[in-house]
Every structure is written in structure tokens, then in C-alpha cells.
Structure 1
Amino acid sequence: MARLSNKCIVLTGAGSGIGQGMAEGFVREGAQVLGVDLSEAGLAETAARVSGPGRFETLVGNVTDKGLPDAIRTKLSALGWQWNVLCNNAGIGGGGMAGDTDDETLNRYLDVNVTGLFRLSRAAVNDWKGKAGVILNTASIYSFIGATGSAAYSTSKAAVAGLTRQMATDYGVEGIRVVAVAPGLIETALTAERIRTEAWRRHIYIDQSPLRRVGKPEDIANGAIFLISDEASFITGETLRIDGGWTLGRYPRPDED
């Protein structure tokens, strides 16, 4: 039996990378998925990759748009779908050190990675009053450790992990679970070239990782599938690190000195 056959999922950032992998996995497991993304072309590409007619629909939208929750509600109503899962996956990365980060840059990271996520999460819990549901956030390994030259990004992703815990505490009594995944280095269209050409990146993120490999979008999707499925019905407030063990400690093996 498909593990997500009773789930109707709103998935942001569905047009590329991890979001695209999630969409494929969710549909494969029987979910109805409304994919939201800035890129109409990206959503079309995802739609071409997923299997299951009528299981994946799209909405072009920006998570920083205050009107997005209502646009999602309108789209779901037109489809005759009732959502019970929200996957806040859209986000931006990169950045610089704190001393080089101006207010405009900081606010951009907070708007996309935190405020947009907060706004959709608020809409979800308000729509689900009296009903069970799941919110899955995409955090980061940098929710937990410092990331050189990524002050605004790390700040935003630490906030995501904190909000996951806080909302899980508040809304568990209503049958709403709030969980997160924290990806490590994942090979996508945006990162593949850097992984291939930047030796320092491979050394830090692959050579010093216990599993000695880069992650794939399906690695994150598999963790997400478990967390939003009924198999995880007694798990809330947790952020699952999916990083090949990288945050355990980046040490060479004795024979690699």
C-alpha cells in the first residue's frame, strides 16, 4: 500500500533540486501534491518527471507574497482537494560573513526562509483546526553548526529549527505534527558544477564525511516521506539530519593522515 495515499501535500520549492525529488517521491507514494514555485518552467519539468495522472498540480507563486496562502486555498478548492500536509521547502542559500552582510541582504534571507515559511504554517494550522496534519520544514545542517561565510543563511535556518520545535509544542494537542529535515551537501543542478570543480568543497563535505559521498535529492525525499507518513505518528518537534553523518565530526580516518 502506498505510504502517502491519505495525504494531500502543498510543497513549496517544487520546481528544482530537493523539492523536485520530494515531488517525485510523494507522488510515487500515492499523495496528491500541489507544487508551488517561482519558476513555471521548473514546475513543468517536475510535472513531466512525476508519475500518476492527476496527482501533481502546480501553482506559480512566491513564498514572500502575502497573498500566497489565499492563492493556495483557491487552487485547492478548484481541485477539490483538502490539504493535510505542508512542506515548506522553498529557500535561498549562500551569503557572507556578518560584518559584510547589510540589512537588505539579511532581510531577504529572513523573508524567504523564515517569514514565508511562518506565513504558510500559520495558514495551515488555522485551516486544520480540529483536524490532524503535518508540517515539514526544510532546515539545514547549518541550523546546528556554524557555516563559514553564511551568516544570514545560518541565522534563518536556525530559526526554522526553532520554529519547528515551538509549533510542535503548541499544536500537538490538536493532532498537528511539526517536523523538519536538515540536508547536508546535496547534488542538484545548482551544486553539481561546484562539487565537480571545487576540490576544497569535496574535501570538506565528502572526504571528511563518514559515508564519503554527496547526497542526492532522493535521500532527502526518503526522509521526508517517512516523517510525513503515519509511520512517524509519534514523532514531532524533531529535525532529522540527512547529511551522511557530516555533523558528527569532520575528522580524517587514521590511515588518511
Structure 2
Amino acid sequence: MAGRLTGKVALVTGIGAGMGRQIALRFADEGAEVLGCDINAEAAERTVEQAAGNGTPIESVHPVDLTRPADVRRWVRIARDRFGKADILVNAGAIAPRTAPAGEMDFETEWRPTIAGEVDLVFLACNEAWPLLKASGRASIINFASVNATRGSMKMAMLAHCAGKGAVRSMTKQLAVEGGPLGIRANTIAPGLVESAMTAEAGAIAGENVETVLSRSLLGRIGTPDDIAWCALYLASDEASWVTGADFAIDGGVTAV
């Protein structure tokens, strides 16, 4: 089923690493015209080079700080001038959450950066890209919730992270409500623990935490960015044309028990 996104324009944030990188590469491989962005210019450039080497080139704007409205507007303006529409928006970019526990979390240096890096940047991209998605008439927004949008963690201090991902999940449902009459679908993917530079930075894929996750997994492993990219591909494609307002748990079965 090659070419599942042929003729579609995809805007993908966070293409420098992890899920965003793999989604951008997968979408290009499936025929989409991809315009990515990342705050890390060197990482984004490596993704662009890999896509070119694969014979499925993508474009990127970098550096882009997705928590800055002016940067998001600049990225979306380039998409508008280049394509005139957007069929897909994937908000894969995020900032590693701060993990201080309740009662000890600092508002300015821990709470606010986490909320900005998980909620504000999703709002800004959706808000700016909305006219381009409306111009498509058959558009798909893919946002990222988490297993922690609906449950807490006994091993890590996830107060701000749980709040942020819960907000993204709820916000996406409202985007689906408002987007439906305009031909804009909106869904969330809720990954379990996925191996990436960000989860490594947060200390989530080492020691007791990963052992706990593996003990609850029905499939006996943590996820990979490609596991998530396949779900994103489905939601971006016309195969999901009757799917909106949904949340997809891609977590190895952790939330099933």
C-alpha cells in the first residue's frame, strides 16, 4: 500500500529526533510533501539529509521555537506561501517535562516550562495552521497525549506532565468538534514509554522505571518511534476519514490491565 499520502501536504513539528523524525520520514516515504521544523537546527538538517538519501526529500524550517508565536507564524507562513494548504498537521515536537513532585515544584522553572512545552506549542501550531487545514477540506490533526493523560505514575513525579497531556487530549476533542463541519479531523496518539532522546533525558528508560513498565507491558518491550509513526500514518491517510475525536493508546498493552 505504498503512496498512502500521495498528493498530501504534511506539516510536522519536532523532526530532529524521536517520533517526529520517524513520522516525517515515513510520511515522505508514503508520498507526502513534508515541511518540518525543529528548534535544533543540526538535528533537523540530519533528518533532511537522511530523507534526501532515501530518495524521498523533505523540507524544513529551522531553528523554530514552537513556544514562540512569532516562530510558529513564520513556519506556517512559509507553508502557506509554498503550498497554499495543509492536509496534515502533526504536533510531535515537545520539551522534556520537569519531574519535580507536588509540594516541591517551582512554578517558573518547572511547572510553566512543562506546560508551555506540552500544551502551548500544540495550541499555537493548531491555531496558526487552522486556515491552511480549512483550505484542504480533508485535513487531519495528530496530537500527542500519553498514557499519563489518564493515569499517574508511582515511580516518577509526573504532576506537570500529566496535567499537560490531559490538556492536549481534551483540547484535541474540542478541535474535532469545531473542525468537523470544516472537514478537519483531530485525534490524539497516547504512547506508552517510547525509546528516544527525550525519554532518556527525563530518566524514563533506565533503572527501576523501565523495569516497572516492562512488568506491566503485555508485549514485553518498550516502544520505538516507528511503532508510533505507523499509527500516525493511518490517522493522516484517507483510511481514517471517519475517525475524529479519538485517542489511540499505542503502549504495548500497559493501559489494558
Asked whether the two chains share a fold, i.e. TM above 0.5, the reply is yes
Is structure 2 residue 106 aligned with structure 1 residue 98?
no
Deviation, 1:31, is: 0.9
Residue of structure 1 equivalent to 2:142: 136
Residue of structure 2 equivalent to 1:248: 256
- Structure 1 Cα separation of the partners of residues 200 and 76 of structure 2: 35
Cα 1:138–1:203 change in 2 (3 A) is same
Deviation, 1:192, is: 5.6
Q: For 2:234, which of 226, 230, 244 is the aligned residue?
A: 226
Deviation, 1:36, is: 0.9
Which residue type is aligned with residue 243 of structure 1?
D
- Structure 1 Cα separation of the partners of residues 235 and 113 of structure 2: 29
Residue of structure 2 equivalent to 1:34: 35
The runs of at least 4 consecutive aligned structure 1 residues that moved more than 6 Å come to none
> Do the aligned partners of 2:134 and 2:184 also contact (CA within 8 Å) in 1?
no
Q: C-alpha offsets along residues 69-123 of structure 1, whole Å, 9 cap, x if unaligned? A: 3212332245346322111111123412221112112111111211121121112
> Do the aligned partners of 1:8 and 1:81 also contact (CA within 8 Å) in 2?
no
Cα 1:112–1:196 change in 2 (3 A) is closer
- Structure 2 Cα separation of the partners of residues 221 and 74 of structure 1: 26
User: Which SS does the other structure have where 1:60 is aligned?
Assistant: coil
1:1-257 equivalent positions in 2, closer than 5 A: 1-50=2-51, 51-80=54-83, 82-92=85-95, 93-104=97-108, 105-129=110-134, 131-147=137-153, 148-191=156-199, 197-198=206-207, 200-249=208-257
- Structure 2 Cα separation of the partners of residues 149 and 202 of structure 1: 15
Q: C-alpha offsets along residues 161-212 of structure 1, whole Å, 9 cap, x if unaligned? A: 00011110121011100011111111123446957751x1232111321010
> Do the aligned partners of 2:89 and 2:142 also contact (CA within 8 Å) in 1?
yes
TM-score, length-normalised on structure 2? 0.89
The two structures, once aligned, show a CA RMSD in angstroms of: 2.0
- Structure 2 Cα separation of the partners of residues 245 and 129 of structure 1: 35
Q: C-alpha offsets along residues 229-254 of structure 1, whole Å, 9 cap, x if unaligned? A: 100000001111110001112xxxxx
Which residue type is aligned with residue 102 of structure 1?
D
Q: C-alpha offsets along residues 99-153 of structure 1, whole Å, 9 cap, x if unaligned? A: 1112112111111211121121112223333523111101111111113411011
> Do the aligned partners of 2:85 and 2:133 also contact (CA within 8 Å) in 1?
no
Which residue type is aligned with residue 186 of structure 2?
V
Q: C-alpha offsets along residues 19-70 of structure 1, whole Å, 9 cap, x if unaligned? A: 1111111111111111111000110111122233543333320111111332
- Structure 1 Cα separation of the partners of residues 34 and 130 of structure 2: 18
Cα 1:47–1:212 change in 2 (3 A) is same
> Do the aligned partners of 1:14 and 1:46 also contact (CA within 8 Å) in 2?
yes
> Do the aligned partners of 1:98 and 1:152 also contact (CA within 8 Å) in 2?
no
Which residue type is aligned with residue 123 of structure 1?
E
Which residue type is aligned with residue 215 of structure 2?
D
More moved, 130-139 vs 9-18: 130-139
Q: Where do 5+ consecutive residues of structure 1 fail to align? A: 250-257
Q: Where do 5+ consecutive residues of structure 2 fail to align? A: none
Which residue type is aligned with residue 196 of structure 2?
T
Which residue type is aligned with residue 128 of structure 2?
A
> Do the aligned partners of 2:65 and 2:72 also contact (CA within 8 Å) in 1?
no
User: Which SS does the other structure have where 1:35 is aligned?
Assistant: strand
For these two proteins, the number of residue pairs brought into alignment is 248
- Structure 1 Cα separation of the partners of residues 206 and 112 of structure 2: 31
> Do the aligned partners of 1:27 and 1:52 also contact (CA within 8 Å) in 2?
no
User: Which SS does the other structure have where 2:230 is aligned?
Assistant: helix
